[in-house]
Amino acid sequence: MTTRIVTIIDYGSGNLRSVQKAFERLGAQTQITDSPQVVAEAKRLVLPGVGSFGDAMQQLHARELVQPILSHLRADRPFFGICMGLQLLFETGWEGGHHSGLGVLDGDVARFELPAGMKIPHMGWNTVEWCQGDARKPSVGDGHYFYFVHSYYARPRDAAIVAATSDYGGSFCSAVSRGRLFATQFHPEKSQAVGMRLLQTFLD
């Protein structure tokens, strides 16, 4: 069987090793890189991340990674965004002001406005409900718990790209999908067996 190579983008964010180890447990070969050339040549690309929207975009620009990522997405090659890696796909992020994202998906990323008594960030385990017809629904199923840690959430303008929703003071988009682009607000690499099943669908 051909070795499946997963390229994980390093733009100074944390959480790279746990993502790497999760894919390696599934038998994939991984490489962590901040090389624009390596990213441009990637077959399967993963954009992980924690931190702030503006800082993340600044680092992507500083490392000349924006254009290789956009080229990968325009070519509809397999792409998996995790947490900040989902948020950066949108046009605008409002964390600490107005920041332009990659602009691949229409919409913005806004801070939770929650009922009294609910905490920000949204941290811990929460259920995920897959949208009807999403390719991941048969293999992952509804109602499973995934691990979240975030204060901001994506607001897509096109409902057709919403792959899954979750509830935290109201329903919000917890995964998006378009072509071979897929991204989650939650962390599959920290979500035990069900998270590994989701990563396996990306490899397959």
The total of other beta-carbon atoms located within 10 Å of residue 87's CB is 26
Q: Which residues are catalytic?
A: 83, 187, 189
- CATH number for the domain that contains residue 84: 3.40.50.880
Q: Residue 88: pLDDT band by 50, 70, 90 thresholds? A: very high
Number of domains in the chain: 1
Q: How far apart are CA 122 and CA 168, in angstroms?
A: 7
Instruction: Calculate the average pLDDT of the chain.
Output: 94
Please name the amino acid found at residue 100. S
| Domain enclosing residue 146, as ranges | 5-203
Q: How confident is the model at residue 50, as a pLDDT? A: 85
The edge-to-edge listing of strands for the beta sheet with 152-156 is: 99-100, 90-93, 105-111, 152-156
Q: If DSSP codes are grouped into helix, strand and coil, which group holds residue 190?
A: helix
1-38 residue pLDDT tens: 457 899 999 998 777 999 999 999 999 999 999 999 99
